[in-house]
Amino acid sequence: MTLNSIFFILFSITLILSSVFSMVSKQMIYTLLWAMLVFLMVAGLFLLLGATYNSMVQFLIYVVAIPVLIAVSIMLINQRGQNNQLFKRKYSLWVLIGIFFLILIIGEFLSLNNDFFEIIRSCSVYVNPYSDLYSITRNLLGVYPVLLLEFAAGIVLTIVGLSYYGK
């Protein structure tokens, strides 16, 4: 079990669970916090795939900039007491149909056995030498320590501010 596999499983499970929690949570602030976690995990998957620059862009735009924009819009709209629930009665049939098709498509993907999917399954992901997790961490901590501090402080400030507003 490699380090890449461990991080992939961790990121993907967190991504799927937090996306579902984001959809079913009642308050908009918690929806936004779970969505931030989803975007962060997508940035982590980009990092694992070797797209370090894309990962940083994803981080800066989706985890730092867009939550601030949405939080300001929630404060402006101030929609407390409004309906934030999913459709329950009318559209539950559509949910079931969607889940059915989701299972069907995933099963289709799993059962396909022709050459194209065999090639995709057999190839391992290309990771360039500069995107190794150790080297990225070494670069972040060694060459640009200020950037890491800025990212951490930005995330902590955003989460603290949103949690304070949520109360």
Partner 1 sequence: MGNSIFHCVTTYNYQIVSLILFFVGLLGVTLSRNLIKILISLEFIMNAVNLLFISFASYKSEQAYLGYTLVIFSTGMSALVLSVGIYFAYILHKKFGTIDVIKIYDKYKETGKC
What residues make contact with partner 1 under the rule CB under 8 A?
Answer: 1-2, 4-5, 8-9, 12, 15-16, 19-20, 22-23, 28, 31-32, 35, 38-39, 42, 45-46, 48-51, 53-54, 57-58, 61-62, 65-66, 69-70, 73-74, 76-77, 79, 82-87, 91, 94-95, 98, 102, 105-106, 109, 117, 120-128
Our CB check for partner 1 shows the closer of 118 and 150 to be 118
Q: How far is the CB of 95 from partner 1 (least distance, A)?
A: 6
Residue whose CB is less far from partner 1, 23 or 141? 23
Residue 151, classed as helix, strand or coil, is helix
Q: How far is the CB of 142 from partner 1 (least distance, A)?
A: 24
d(CA 80, CA 123): 50
Q: How far is the CB of 76 from partner 1 (least distance, A)?
A: 6
Q: Which helix (H) or strand (E) holds 46?
A: helix 28-49
Residue pair 43/55 in contact (Cβ under 8 Å)? The answer is yes
Q: Could you tell me which residues come within 8 angstroms of residue 75 by beta carbon, excluding any fewer than 6 positions away?
A: 165
Closest to 36 in 3D by CA, of 57, 53, 61: 61
**Do residues 19 and 39 touch, judged by C-beta distance below 8 A?**
no
Q: Compute the least distance from the CB of residue 152 to partner 1, in Å.
A: 22
Q: Closest approach of Cβ 23 to partner 1, in Å?
A: 5
Shorter beta-carbon distance to partner 1: residue 113 or 142 = 113
Residue among 112 and 149 whose Cβ is closer to partner 1? 112
Distances (CA, A) of 161 to 43, 150, 158: 22, 16, 5
- Whole-angstrom distance, CA of residue 25 vs CA of residue 39: 17
Of 127 and 140, CB closest to partner 1: 127
Per the listing, tokens 């149909």 go with: 97
